[in-house]
Amino acid sequence: MKKKNIYDMTIDSLVYPNSATGTIEGRRVSVKNGLPGQQLSVQITKLRRNRVEARICQVTDRAPYEVDSFCEHFGECGGCARQTVPYERQLDIKLESINALFAQNDIALRVAKIIASPSIYHYRNKMEYSFGDLAKGGQLNLGMHRKGRFYDVVSIPRCHIVDDDYNTITAALERLCRTEGWAKYNRNSGEGVMRNLVIRKGCFTGEILIGLATSSASFDVQKVVDTLLALQLKGQIVGIYHLINDDVADVVKPQPGDHLVYGRDYFYEKICGMTFKVSFHSFFQTNSRGAEVLYREALALIPDLDDKVVYDLFSGTGTIAQIVAQSAKSVQAIEIVADAVAAAKQNARDNGVTNCTFLTGDVFKILDEVTEKPDVIIVDPPRAGMTPKTVQKIADYDVAQILYISCNPKTMVANLKDFFARGYALKSCFLVDLYPHTPLVEAVALLTK
């Protein structure tokens, strides 16, 4: 086997989330985004004594279960990599890959079920787009990164995992930018204007919040506002946020120059019969209908909360905290994003919830300030999971039940092993598919002592 040489390979297994493996000349080879049963032509990109990686040059023979893609942009757009897999088979693959992940980490419990998303099309309530092109000096596009190419952006006139309002907005803004000659921002030269577009829409309320990220270069942002407000949409635009970003990193995050150019910097969404104010930068589950299923099924694992104090850690806009508060004695919720905490407090007032306390700051530090001791702890950390020190601090409370909700099972597994070392056992675990047509899945685990 030689680096850069091309070989034939059949995929026989997956490694969560998006790696696939097969055998070439007696060695295991890993590629991204392959599917079990596919026959591939691959080029070796990394050749080490303990690891071989390759990239897919061509799918020479599809897996027996594959079907035609439903999206005209498949193969060019970098999203929805598994749309050629029938949905029921997608669920099976996710379940199999998580059980393999558990086995690789010596976790004996088998994940017994995966719950399907209520909707497999038009399900997202948030989408982030990029401005770019397909060639140096080429026509400006507003869309998604090209498959396997970080710097190339393809226009996506019709995306199937968001509703039509998203497509209408992106098409109108792309036309405006081309007409006005507004160039994409070039991170190398620092020239240009347009960087990113974020659209958030309440699936149950129809409220739309738009964020446009540009450099600090001058352009007529009012033309953007006028163009967007003139659109015929099913929902209603309630706010347009202008984000200023001159950093090299192409990341949408709070910056000193950010400001509203229309309306308000939040939208409302309804989950489990309650209304939630979601600020622009706040975390909120991207599949609203799926989130209702997730919370209902997760909280069913801890049904007896009467007269109990619950900690909700990494609480976001307080969704879980306020649902739990309906049956618990009290809830202490901790979140590091100040805007999210402010929204959570407002949400609690609007929903008539009086037994929740919302605290701002790093979970590891703020826990020291909470005097009311917990009976049950719920954690829903970001993708990076929790640090060992945070796990230790949580375990030191010695509660009988810890409910772990995770958007990244790989980091959850690492945290579970830390909890095992501190006397906890994994009583049950299941999956909820919030991300149809992608390799990702949400995991729920109940730890007991």
Residues 175 and 247 in one domain: yes
Helices (H), 185-313: 221-229, 288-299
Residues 6 or more apart in contact with residue 245 via CB below 8 angstroms: 195, 196, 213, 214, 215, 251, 252, 253, 255
Q: Please check whether residue 86 lies inside any domain of the structure.
A: no
pLDDT band at residue 375, thresholds of 50, 70 and 90?
Answer: very high
**To the nearest whole number, what is the mean pLDDT of the chain?**
96
pLDDT over 90 at 136, yes or no: no
Are 95 and 174 spatial neighbours (Cβ–Cβ below 8 Å)? no
Answer whether the bond into residue 17 is a cis peptide, omega within 30°. yes
Residues 218 and 349 in one domain: no
Q: What is the pLDDT of residue 33?
A: 92
Q: Please check whether residue 99 lies inside any domain of the structure.
A: no
Q: Among residues 205, 235, 270, which one ends one of the domains?
A: 270
How much is the average pLDDT of 69-98? 96
Q: Please check whether residue 29 lies inside any domain of the structure.
A: yes
- Render pLDDT for 93-108 as a digit per residue (tens, 0 to 9): 999 999 999 999 999 9
**Considering only 133-137, 152-156, 304-308, which range has the smallest mean pLDDT?**
133-137
Cα dist from 110 to 116, 426, 428, whole Å: 18, 10, 9
Cα dist from 151 to 80, 119, 233, whole Å: 19, 31, 31
Helices (H), 136-271: 164-180, 221-229
Beta-carbon count within 10 A of 27 CB: 12
Instruction: Please give the backbone phi and psi of residue 389, each rounded to the nearest 5 degrees, phi first.
Output: -65, -40
CATH number for position 50: 2.40.50.140
Alpha-carbon distance of 264 to 211, in angstroms, equals 11
Q: Please check whether residue 76 lies inside any domain of the structure.
A: no
Residues 407 and 334 in one domain: yes
Residues 323 and 297 in one domain: yes
Residues 357 and 332 in one domain: yes
- Render pLDDT for 33-73 as a digit per residue (tens, 0 to 9): 999 999 999 999 999 999 999 999 999 999 999 999 999 99
- Residue linked to tokens 């401005």: 131
pLDDT band at residue 353, thresholds of 50, 70 and 90?
Answer: very high
Q: Which amino acid makes up residue 145?
A: H
Alpha-carbon distance of 273 to 351, in angstroms, equals 10
**Enclosing domain of residue 185:** 126-270
DSSP symbol at 184: B
Cα dist from 112 to 94, 181, 431, whole Å: 12, 55, 9
Q: Please check whether residue 299 lies inside any domain of the structure.
A: yes
How much is the average pLDDT of 223-230? 99
Q: What is the pLDDT of residue 253?
A: 86
Residues 336 and 211 in one domain: no
Alpha-carbon distance of 32 to 6, in angstroms, equals 16
Residues 411 and 289 in one domain: yes
Instruction: Please give the backbone phi and psi of residue 394, each rounded to the nearest 5 degrees, phi first.
Output: -65, -45
Tokens encoding 69:
């893609």
Q: What is the pLDDT of residue 149?
A: 83
Residues 410 and 371 in one domain: yes
Give the rounded percent of residues in the chain with a pLDDT score beyond 70. 100
User: Catalytic residue at 407?
Assistant: yes
- Render pLDDT for 188-207 as a digit per residue (tens, 0 to 9): 888 999 999 999 999 999 99
Residues 263 and 310 in one domain: no
pLDDT band at residue 362, thresholds of 50, 70 and 90?
Answer: very high
Q: What is the pLDDT of residue 148?
A: 82
pLDDT over 90 at 24, yes or no: yes
CATH number for position 150: 2.40.50.1070
Q: Please check whether residue 164 lies inside any domain of the structure.
A: yes
Give the rounded percent of residues in the chain with a pLDDT score beyond 90. 93
- Catalytic hit among 71, 77, 159, 407: 407
CATH number for position 356: 3.40.50.150
Closest Cα to residue 332, out of 353, 352, 358, 307? Answer: 358
Instruction: Please give the backbone phi and psi of residue 197, each rounded to the nearest 5 degrees, phi first.
Output: -130, 130
Q: Please check whether residue 401 lies inside any domain of the structure.
A: yes
Domain count, the chain: 3
Residues 417 and 316 in one domain: yes
Q: Please check whether residue 275 lies inside any domain of the structure.
A: no
| Start-to-end C-alpha separation, the chain | 50
Residue 204, classified by CB atoms within 10 Å of its CB into exposed (0-12), middle (13-18) or buried (19+), is middle
Residues 110 and 131 in one domain: no
Residues 333 and 443 in one domain: yes
